[in-house]
Amino acid sequence: MSWRPRSRRPDERRPPARVGGALGRVLDELGLDVERTRRLDAALAAALGPELAPHFEIVNLRGRTLELRADAPVYSQELALCSAAVLAALRERLGAEAPAELRSRVR
């Protein structure tokens, strides 16, 4: 005898549950602000420009320090060279929410 999953009759099946409301509550409990993260991600992409932005992803925001992950060491070095301009662009777009420091590491 082989194992088979128990099937329900069509009238016993439940519709899929929506997670939209629950997801927001869970993120709030974890202290994650989805809108702030979206704004930061968009501002970072604009500040880095179309050549650098695809090579970075946000890892964490600790206090006023934005931690990024770079594809390769050359992009991390490029960010170090232009970090003052990137931070200025972030301040212009985000105001008081802007990070004061950038840190990057390579995958």
Q: What is the tens place of the pLDDT at every residue in 54-77? A: 999 999 888 899 999 999 999 999
* Structure letter (DSSP) for residue 4: -
Percent of the chain predicted with pLDDT > 70: 79
pLDDT in tens, 90-102: 999 999 999 999 9
CA distance 56 to 67: 10
Global model pTM greater than 0.85: no
If pLDDT is split at 50, 70 and 90, which confidence band does 15 have?
confident
Domain boundaries, the chain: 33-106
Architecture of domain 33-106: 2-Layer Sandwich (3.30)
Cβ atoms of 46 and 72 closer than 8 Å? no
Please identify which residue in the block is written with the tokens 């590491």: 105
Phi, psi of 79 (to 5 degrees): -65, -40
Cβ–Cβ contacts within 10 Å for residue 7, how many?
8
